[in-house]
Amino acid sequence: MLPSKNINDLIGIMAALRTPVTGCPWDLEQSFDTIAPYTIEEAYEVADAIERGDISDLRDELGDLLLQVVFHARLAEEQGSFQFEDVVHAITSKLIRRHPHVFGNLQILTPEEVKGLWADIKAQEKADKLAERKAAGLEATSENASLLADIPYNLPALIRAEKLQAKASKVGFDWNDARLVLEKIREETGEIEGALASKDQTNIEEEIGDLLFVVANLARHLSVNPEDALRKANLKFVRRFNYIENNMKLLGKDIKDANLEEMEHFWNEARKLDKMKV
């Protein structure tokens, strides 16, 4: 087997890895559940390569993510559910259906009109799925009928919070001013203070969760992606902490031997350097 640019060869490699006796013992042990965490991890590594502007890494990480799709499709094929070709058919059908302004006769002029059309088509798709369930004798539960039911549970919590709030906002369950969200944040910090005084760990966790949820809402009101904002804050923290470590080394000291005053001094230097770069 040689490296190839043909997707069918990748599908063939995956089949070989999953072939009993001659395949890979590790791959043969895997299931949808065990592979799912790797799928999520690979998606994040794609985002990381983009954030770093590393095109070479992006190519490799996209390959790793594609392997996850092929792996799941192979597992489904083995149990007789669907094949990789069915995955391709499903997404091409969806793209054609959701872009009548490109593949049909509908004329859409603005990005906002496109977003509105997309939402309408998704709503119709949801209704069609419910109808299919009923036709198949599957009862449509209240969860399936819920406005929030299509927000996946396994999304990162910050992303899911933003999506839940955005969906609720569409029916008017929302503040109409970002300053009101800020006021709610102040209220939540006060409740955290009360929880700290009570020393009730369960209550503390709940109040911190409420605060994070409202911060995600503020980000949405200000057209900021909270996940992106937090990722950038993480990168900034790493950059500044590395500055502390490097300067401690110049002083001949290990970071573990530094005191808080020394670390804060170099942290503030790093902050000033950041501001100078803006």
- Residue 226: CB atoms within 10 A of its CB come to 20
Encode pLDDT of 169-204 as tens digits. 988 999 989 999 999 999 999 999 999 999 999 999
State the pLDDT at residue 143: 47
Q: What is the DSSP letter of 139?
A: -
Rounded CA-CA distance 243/267 in Å is: 7
Q: Which ranges of the chain have pLDDT less than 70?
A: 139-145, 278
Give me the residue spans of the domains in the chain: 1-98, 105-145, 157-224, 228-277
> Token pair 């900021």 is at which residue?
224
222: helix, coil or strand?
coil
Rounded CA-CA distance 229/254 in Å is: 31
Q: What is the DSSP letter of 257?
A: G
CATH code for the part of the protein at 1-98: 1.10.287.1080
State the pLDDT at residue 277: 76
CATH number for 157-224 (one of 1.10.287.1080, 1.10.1740.10, 3.40.50.10490, 3.40.50.410): it is: 1.10.287.1080
The reported pTM is: 0.66
State the pLDDT at residue 1: 78
Rounded CA-CA distance 197/199 in Å is: 5
Half-sphere exposure for 233 (CA within 13 Å, toward CB):
6
Q: How far is CA 200 from the centre of its chain?
A: 31
